[in-house]
Amino acid sequence: MAEKFYLTTSIAYINSSPHLGFAKEIVMADVLARHQRLLGKEVYFLTGTDEHGAKISRAAEKTGLPVEKFADRNAEKFRELAEVLNISFDDFIRTSDKKRHFPGAQKMWRRLSEKGDLYKKSYRGLYCVGHEAFVTEKDLLDGKCVDHGQTPEIIEEENYFFKLSVYTERIKEAIVSGELVIAPASRKNEILSLLEEGLEDISFSRPARDISWGVPVPGDPEQTMYVWGDALANYVSALGYGQEKETLFKKFWPADLHIIGKDILRFHAAVWPGMLLSAGLPLPKKILVHGFITVNGQKMSKTLGNVADPFVLAEKYGAEAVRYYLLRELSSFGDGDFTEEKFKESYNANLANGLGNFVSRVNKMILQYFDGAIEKPAPAALAAVPVNLEEVFIFKKETVEYFPPDYLIENFFIPEYQKAMRELDLQKTGDIIWRLIGMLDGYIQDYEPFKLVKKDKEKARAVLWQLAFGMFWIARLLAPFLPSTAEKIFSILGVSGDAKPEKLKIFRFKEHKGLFPRL
RNA sequence: GCCGGUGUAGUUCAAUGGCAGAACGGAGGACUCAUAAGCCUUAAAUAAAGGUUCGAUUCCUUUCACCGGCACCA
């Protein structure tokens, strides 16, 4: 039975169009999902949308659409983005889905309630009629609401609260012990220092008259669930938690990995574990926290008009190029900057001149000198064409022996790649692939197979086999990142992507038009 | 205000108590299988000031700048 792997992105709030930041998150998740599948695991990859709240009802009103229609329309954009970027998600959950999501969110509520962790408390605050919501002093100018120009009323209302404070120590223990891993370490420290100060109970519901667009609190029609109990529960509701049969839930929970942005760290690393502990459910194993993307060094904002639109980029440059930029040019953990100039530079340097050109030159030589069919030479012949280790950086100095590419791929590149994957450092994983490309480009230079073929055809065959074999592995390692490019390379090589490397006996090369034309 | 982090080449990032590396971009060169790509060579950097040390970019202190978190005021 295959080991399971359950991973999720955060669910996107649908009050605006998908931007590059969400694209990055979902692409990262996709790479990890594809990688885990290639490792033979049974993967369940969830993404989706967070659709409730007063903000959405108000936005819907402005467009004149009923809120359900508005939500359908906006949620669809996120699903489209996933499709455009070739995301291999298994499921797409929407929190407005009454059949799929509500039962899970409500079951979780009942569990917390049965545990005695939900209690009613009156809340006193400044209520703005225009907002139909509480506002803080921050929203006021001269004591009046900035948006509505009205003086807010002081209103007292009853809400449910969740006893998050009770779980502070347990959560801290889980994070310190590694039961719940937070990556990178800087984010772990951040959340630990927050836990050090102690968690406060949090407001868990709102009166239904203020927020009708949401999940009703079980047994109290006057109240609607506030964001935590609703949105966070998507991770279990999508698996059928609260349904008659909880088959998927039983199989896949706990999550192996939640991928989130830094802005929602505390909800995932504090509130969500608290809820799960209260409900008596296991904690997720790992949370990967990524940063934000700026555009030309500035925060993306609608008013600045600098929102980088992933649809436009994919349309213009192709989904693979967008995936490449998000994964390799941006840190997997920190913030990053997008500019179209850098995008093009990186595309030309690495996709066109690097990967594309390498495939092209190997392809051409093998077509020209061997009619496209290159057979595997004897082991001795393969060992006789080592890489010049001056270029290889790795086994340097202490080793005097020389190694051929197939040996280095197996003993250096693959282990390093696996290691970077385990560390969830996708950027580094990409670096390793491009180091391999660089090594093989140098290898062509050293042996000059285009000259060698006239003097010693058998040796040239060994060199070109090594290059073709290297190309096969490049496609292999690339498959989670640029799946359709990897497929193209396999097709050029005339082999299937899941071929056993040690069983390969011959590559039958085909003509192709370049992988990535220069910009 | 408190806590934490960061500051290295034009840019993005490495590393180290003992000659500071890479990639992209720049400059030059020899080649031609290739997408005028690739290869080789080359210029170019430790924010500032003190301290510890034979030696500090690394450790310590201060200043400055930026980032993150928390809190407070409005």
Q: What is residue A470's three-state secondary structure? A: helix
- Order of strands across the sheet that contains A205-207: A205-207, A220-225, A216-217
pLDDT at A331: 86
Q: How far is the CA of A141 from the C1' of B25 (A)?
A: 49
Q: Is the pLDDT of residue A509 over 50?
A: yes
- Please, which pLDDT band fits residue A248 given cuts at 50, 70 and 90? very high
Cα three-residue angle A271-A273-A276, rounded to 5 degrees: 110
pLDDT at A136: 61
Nucleotide closest in space to A266 (CA vs C1'): B69
Stated pTM of the model:
0.92
Q: Kindly list the distances between the CA atom of residue A7 and the CA atoms of A96, A242, A407, in Å, as whole numbers in the listed order.
A: 21, 20, 34
pLDDT at A294: 84
Closest protein residue to B25 (Cα–C1'): A345
Q: Is the pLDDT of residue A401 over 80?
A: no
Nucleotide closest in space to A354 (CA vs C1'): B37
Q: What is the ipTM of this complex?
A: 0.89
Q: How far is the CA of A16 from the C1' of B53 (A)?
A: 58
Q: How far is the CA of A345 from the C1' of B10 (A)?
A: 15
- Order of strands across the sheet that contains A118-128: A133-135, A118-128, A153-162, A202-203
Q: Is the pLDDT of residue A116 over 70?
A: yes
Q: How far is the CA of A439 from the C1' of B41 (A)?
A: 19
Q: Is the peptide bond before A377 cis (omega within 30 degrees of 0)?
A: no
Specify burial of residue A479 (Cβ count, 10 A radius: 0-12, 13-18, 19+).
buried
- Please, which pLDDT band fits residue A397 given cuts at 50, 70 and 90? very low
pLDDT at A83: 95
Cβ pair A24, A290 in contact under 8 A: yes
- Please, which pLDDT band fits residue A242 given cuts at 50, 70 and 90? very high
What are the tens digits of pLDDT across the range A31-52? 999 999 999 999 999 999 999 9
What residues are paired with A12 via a beta bridge? A49
Q: Is the pLDDT of residue A464 over 90?
A: yes
Q: How far is the CA of A291 from the C1' of B6 (A)?
A: 15
**Chain B positions under 7 Å from a protein CB?**
3-5, 12-13, 23-25, 32-40, 67-70, 73-74
* A504 or A156, greater pLDDT: A504
Nucleotide closest in space to A191 (CA vs C1'): B69
Nucleotide closest in space to A513 (CA vs C1'): B35
pLDDT at A146: 56
* A238 or A292, greater pLDDT: A238
Q: How far is the CA of A247 from the C1' of B32 (A)?
A: 62
Mean predicted lDDT score pLDDT of chain A: 88
